[in-house]
Structure 1
Amino acid sequence: MSLTAQRPFSIHIFLPDGTPDGVRVVEKDNWLGVGLVCPRARFPDAKSRPEFNRPGVYALIGPSEESDLPKVYIGQGDTALPRLEQHFSKKDFWTSLILFVSQTDFLDKTRIEYLESRLCALAGEAKRCVLDNKQAPQLPTLSEAAQAAVNGFLEEMLPIYPLLGVTAFEKPQVMRVEVTHYVLRARGIEARGYEEGSGFVVLAGSQVANDFVPSAATYLQTLRAALQEQGVIADRGDGLKLTQDYTFDSPSTAAGVVIGRTVNGRETWRDEAGKTLKENQSHGTEGNGETV
């Protein structure tokens, strides 16, 4: 998720409408940025807010017709409002937007173009959404100092997205703490993974069953189809495998996609001693395994 080591932080959420499902203004301690979350239905009334008249980078988020993965469009504007008004009239898929701006003049045209390009690259690497951008924006040229400064701004932005329910930019990071490895063996395949805060990570190289049993849940089949479309699951000549570490929303979804059957993942994933994920969590032993 983060470009560097994770660290504690506090956020402050202001509800100008006085309702939890309305506009939200998000700030962090000791950060010059501000995030604005706006449901599509509130945009006509909310667009008079000053944040929309600043340079900023935004994500439009909504359901995808192609799969169970959300659809996301990343954009930017040296004044965000005109671009967002165009998207309001021409893009039908999105149901909410998240806009990030600076409370100072830190963000200019080149810097928001840099943020747009980096966010598109992160979403493309994570493959946890259907990216609506037709072309990947190129990184603009920045001085080394400016690039470091904008990366610092991005580093502050990224942990906020999952707090707002958006995991599109999260790719499993190399863990520096001990976590328990789990293995799943069924239907002739073997998969490995571990649980983390945002879901269950299945490791690259894990095998995937060739087909689904007739009773498998539809959402598992549509999710696997989307992952195959994006190249997360592919046939390398010796059967289907994961081509990268991938975070699923839950152990059950992870297990269901790889073995092609609806299962309870907490009872299916087992550590090397044969204990299930559920048993380890019940006895408070989670995290006493190998280092990933």
Structure 2
Amino acid sequence: MSSLGKSVRLFLADGTPGGLVTAEIMNWTGHVIAAPRSDLGVLLKRPEASRTGVYLLLGDDPDVTGGTLAYIGEGDDVGKRIRIHNQAEEKGGKDFWNRVLVLTSKDANLTKAHARFLESRFIVIAREAKRAQLANGTTPPLLPLPEADVSDMEFFIKQAKIVLPVLGVNLLRNTATRSTPSTPDPSSQSDASPEFALTVKGANATAQEVDGEFVVRQGSLARPEWLGTSLSYEKLRQQLEEDGTLVLTDDGKHRVFTRDVVFASPSAASSVVLGRNSNGRLEWRVSGTTTTYGLWQGRHIEQADGDS
């Protein structure tokens, strides 16, 4: 059965999708503001900017095509901290970022200790998620809090992990495996994704669709080298080899995934695994069956037609 839905309220402060945006979840005291750096002056005039909270600075990673460079910080007055980061680097600022997000509390009950706890936890979660390169040099120690406060902060984090992806920020988004039935059933009406497999000569990989993203699992084996024509997926494959995600095995027969990797599509995943351009909707199959990813995905349409 599907989990309960969430209502996320977005407000476009200037009426444009590229400007300052606020986000809230019903029955959550947290409040999120996102703005491009060019609108920093507008953000700093808002009352939330003078509260205690956590902030994220986001920009392009110069070392990874399409990658994100991020900095996570906290402050009694987050606006003052962001003003410092907005200075030139020779004055202690940071040049890389082009977007800022501020997470505070609507009831103004976040304390300095809470903010430092959140900062430390956010950094740990972001490093584990490996969605972005962090500009933070170290991870601050996790401050001890009363048990009730820890529970409140973990709930705050849980809600933040829902809101941020809605704003296009996947920094804290993990790729945990969904629960799946022990025996795959393509006709099942469960929303959970089964495990998919791609097994051919020179490759043996597994994957799963998690929260709308296609994730190839750590330990999967890909072909040792690119065999196809020069396409965009070749650059992606090369990038994964260079950053240590695809490592050549000792016998040189495969490259192994050293971590879970999120791909934009099943075809991007299968192309990297096979070392050539491929159609992932046909290549990936539900483990233990002949059902392709495309057929599995199509069952939702058949079910909808049957219920109409």
Residue aligning to 2:85: 87
Are 1:31 and 2:34 matched, yes or no?
no
Partners of 2:246 and 2:256 within 8 A in 1: yes
Residue aligning to 2:185: none
Partners of 1:280 and 1:286 within 8 A in 2: no
Residue aligning to 2:187: none
Aligned pair partner of 1:237 in 250, 255, 267: 250
Partners of 1:221 and 1:257 within 8 A in 2: no
In structure 2, relative to structure 1, the CA distance for the partners of 1:66 and 1:186 (3 Å cut) is: farther
Identity %: 32
Residue aligning to 2:292: 276
For these two proteins, the number of residue pairs brought into alignment is 282
| Structure 1 stretch displaced more, 270-279 or 101-110 | 270-279
Residue aligning to 1:166: 169
Letter in 1 for 2:297: Q
Partners of 1:183 and 1:269 within 8 A in 2: yes
Partners of 2:206 and 2:216 within 8 A in 1: yes
Residue aligning to 1:189: 203
Are 1:213 and 2:213 matched, yes or no?
no
Residue aligning to 1:45: 42
Partners of 2:178 and 2:210 within 8 A in 1: no
Residue aligning to 1:113: 116
Residue aligning to 2:263: 248
**Structure 1 gaps, min length 5:** 288-292
Are 1:56 and 2:72 matched, yes or no?
no
CA RMSD of aligned residues (A): 2.5
Give the secondary-structure state (helix, strand or coil) at the position aligned to 1:158: helix
Residue aligning to 1:130: 133
**Could you say which structure has the greater relative contact order, defined with CA pairs below 8 angstroms and 6 or more residues apart?**
1
Residue aligning to 1:264: 279
| Structure 1 stretch displaced more, 218-227 or 89-98 | 218-227
Aligned pair partner of 1:69 in 48, 60, 67: 67
Q: TM-score, normalised by structure 1?
A: 0.86
Give the secondary-structure state (helix, strand or coil) at the position aligned to 1:101: strand
Tell me which structure has the larger Cα radius of gyration: 2
Give the secondary-structure state (helix, strand or coil) at the position aligned to 1:146: helix
Using the alignment, how far apart are the partners of 1:220 and 1:192 within structure 2?
Answer: 20
Give the secondary-structure state (helix, strand or coil) at the position aligned to 2:79: helix
Letter in 1 for 2:263: F
Using the alignment, how far apart are the partners of 1:92 and 1:168 within structure 2?
Answer: 19
Letter in 2 for 1:276: T
